[in-house]
Amino acid sequence: MCGRFTLTRPGALAAAFPQIRFEEFSETKLPSYNIAPAQRVLGVRNDGRRRAEEMRWGVRGRINIRAESIAARRGSVLRRCVEFADGFYEWRERRPYYYSLRSGEPFVFAGLWEPENGSACCDVVTCPPNALVAPVHDRMPVILRGDAVDAWLNPDPLPGEVARTLLRPLDANLMQVREVSQRVNNANYDAADALDPPEPRLL
């Protein structure tokens, strides 16, 4: 699954995604070290505007949706979106591990969205893990790169068989992982030292 992620350098997004229009934001321009469900996230809907906006993470209580469920749909996938991130957390025995790109660049998760009181709520698509994530968790978020971002944001309906080709685990060679502080275990904790090395374990 994907239950927490980061956006530590929102100022890097415009250069990394020149096809997206970034307006002036308030809180979304601040670094986030522990984004949790029900919070506001920064993303883009496939409404043709290619405009970054705030969305609420959670669709009727669902924060993740399986890629296999999307690919198996008989109809086309209509309401698609992406959420911006530069890392995500997974846990093993309450020990948090932080995954990011080796390049340090920001990236996007694939997601679906639903209208909500004039704005939008969203979830994150998950898929089977790559070799880097598998020792810690049996799912990982779908990270889209390159042409896959544009394909997912195209406003046209997307057949399930095409979605299947996009919703795959990212190449493990492009990623890195490290154990971080258990401060991040608290969903309300949002500070840079969440990414510090883990505290010494008591013998």
Could you give the residue numbers annotated as active site? 2, 90
**Alpha-carbon gap, residue 122 to 116, rounded angstroms:** 10
Strand order in the sheet with 175-179: 32-35, 5-7, 87-92, 95-101, 175-179
Which amino acid does the sequence have at 156? D
Which 8-state DSSP code applies to residue 21? B
Nearest to 70 by CA among 157, 167, 139, 154: 167
| Token pair in block for residue 23 | 């307006």
**Alpha-carbon gap, residue 184 to 86, rounded angstroms:** 16
For CA atoms 162, 12, 104, 58, the dihedral sign is negative
